[in-house]
Chain A
Amino acid sequence: MGLFNAMTNYAHKSELRESKDEIVCGLIVAGLSHEGWRPFRITADADKQTMGFKIPGDDVLSAVYLMVDRRSGSGSISQTMGSRTVIGFTAEMRNKVTDPDDLAIMWKTDFANLFRMPVAGEVRINHQLNTVNARTYHLVNLDDYVKGATVDTSALLPWIVQQVNSLKEQLRPLKK
């Protein structure tokens, strides 16, 4: 009986350790919902979660997407390296009409982006017909925010809002 309990305790702790990214995602969804953002897209696979939000009344953005992609693997690797995670931000803007001249310029920019190495913190503008996306990503250590099952969102949520606002200003001149 004791061995069974020890095994299940170990498995439980391991599960919680592996759940740091989900724990953070839960707090992000709840925290941003209280900011008035409306979650409308939630997808997840083994290591990557994407959350999409609408921001009612925003004059530029049609949607915002946050991607949490855990990179440091599991078990002993996580314990030694910490929970290295990429948080990606995509701010999406839609123009109602795009003319062919706009598309030619957009494809030129997007083509040039193909050959650029992604750098953390760098902002990239990508176009998809009427939709223009500004993206950036940052490498963070989730252990800075998650202690056991407790998450300190006092710094995390304002930082997320700040990142989105920064992307929004990149898109504003392209808004028609």
Chain B
Amino acid sequence: MIEPTQPVHWVDAGGQQQGPAPLSTVVDQVKAGQLPRSTHVWWQGAENWTAIDRLGLDLGQPVAATASAALMSGMSDQELDDAFIDLVGRSWEMYKETEFATSIDEAMLGGVITALVDCGFVLIDMETASLWAGAAGSHRLRFEEPADHSRVNVSLQHLTPDPAVAKMIGHRASAVIGYGQRVPEFSKVGNAIKQEMQSSFIASPEPGTVTFDADISSGYVYAQIDLLLEIERYVDDHLDVDHDLLRRHVASVIYTMKTFIQARFGGQ
């Protein structure tokens, strides 16, 4: 083991031999970044010139020649590439989290369409939020059963499109699900409209509120109910939809709304 006081010669950056000086002096210059860690040294009795970083000495942390080199010190090119790819990848993951948060309600909407179309309903009307004021993020679907022309309405508004809020309480939606059928008597439609006028005074319906609606031009009356739904019960993290659960839940609501309609206006 070479002693720090051992006089040595070294080769400077210009290729010139320097020294002698104690080894500790050369080590200090390497530590300060004034000499490279590969500086070759020779001392009396040594067989060859030896790179100073092969002598097993404490040379401190490598000191870079430039600020950029200092910034990247201690990392190989591969490590720098890997860290960059990791950062970009994580950024995309976060971007997709936001995209997912604003897509999950429409995935559910697609699930409702699929579930009802699979049962034989046809989609006859579709509207999105921007058309109706004060209901941003809302969607409205209307289906008809070809055999008896009865109709199903589904309105959905995503209440938690913000990813942070959704993480706290989950993805929630307010839904209005309704059943409608044609009523062949004008007086009955008029009666339904009167009831709709009464229900229209309810500014913010609570869940479970059943209201009536009527479309006098096509002679339909509708019974509908307000509900709050947990979207993640139906749509998983990969936007895969449980169509059967959706069908079962929509079916239970339609069954009850149909009972309301038929009790008041008779069956078809």
CA separation between A43 and B102, bound complex, in Å? 13
A49 at interface, CB cutoff 8 A: yes
B124 touches A39 (CB 8 A): no
> B110, B128, B144, B146: which contacts A38 (Cβ < 8 A)?
B110
CA separation between A15 and B139, bound complex, in Å? 19
> A26, A38, A148: which contacts B123 (Cβ < 8 A)?
A26
B106 touches A148 (CB 8 A): no
B238 touches A38 (CB 8 A): yes
> A1, A11, A15, A40: which contacts B110 (Cβ < 8 A)?
A40
CA separation between A22 and B103, bound complex, in Å? 20
Chain B residues in 8 Å Cβ range of A52: 106
- A-B pair count, CB < 8 Å, reads 116
A150 touches B127 (CB 8 A): no
B interface residues, tally (CB under 8 Å): 41
> B106, B123, B126: which contacts A39 (Cβ < 8 A)?
B106
A117 at interface, CB cutoff 8 A: no
B122 touches A97 (CB 8 A): no
CA separation between A33 and B244, bound complex, in Å? 13
Please name the residue on chain A nearest to B218 by beta carbon: A11
CA separation between A49 and B106, bound complex, in Å? 13
B122 touches A38 (CB 8 A): no
A39 touches B117 (CB 8 A): no
CA separation between A114 and B140, bound complex, in Å? 35
Q: Mark A35-54, 1 if CB is under 8 A from B, else 0.
A: 00011111111100101101
A42 touches B88 (CB 8 A): no
B146 touches A148 (CB 8 A): yes
> B116, B124, B130, B238: which contacts A15 (Cβ < 8 A)?
B124
Chain B residues in 8 Å Cβ range of A16: 124, 144
Given contacts A8-B217, A23-B123, A38-B238, contact A30 B128 (CB under 8 A): no
**Interface locus among B20-28, B159-167, B178-186:** B178-186
Please name the residue on chain B nearest to A3 by beta carbon: B186
B114 at interface, CB cutoff 8 A: yes
Chain B residues in 8 Å Cβ range of A26: 113, 116-117, 122-123, 143
Chain A residues in 8 Å Cβ range of B111: 33, 39
7 contacts between A and B (CB under 8 A): A4-B219, A8-B184, A11-B218, A19-B125, A30-B118, A33-B110, A45-B130
Using A16-B124, A40-B103, A96-B92 as known contacts, list a sample of 7 further A-B pairs with CB atoms less than 8 Å apart, ordered by residue number in A.
Answer: A1-B185, A8-B219, A15-B218, A33-B110, A33-B111, A33-B241, A42-B110
Interface residues, chain A, with chain B CB atoms under 8 Å away: 1, 4-5, 7-8, 11-12, 15-16, 19, 22-23, 25-27, 29-30, 33-34, 38-46, 49, 51-52, 54, 56, 96-97, 148-151
List the 10 closest A-B pairs by CB distance, nearest first.
A39-B110, A26-B123, A8-B219, A19-B124, A30-B117, A149-B146, A44-B126, A40-B103, A38-B239, A11-B218
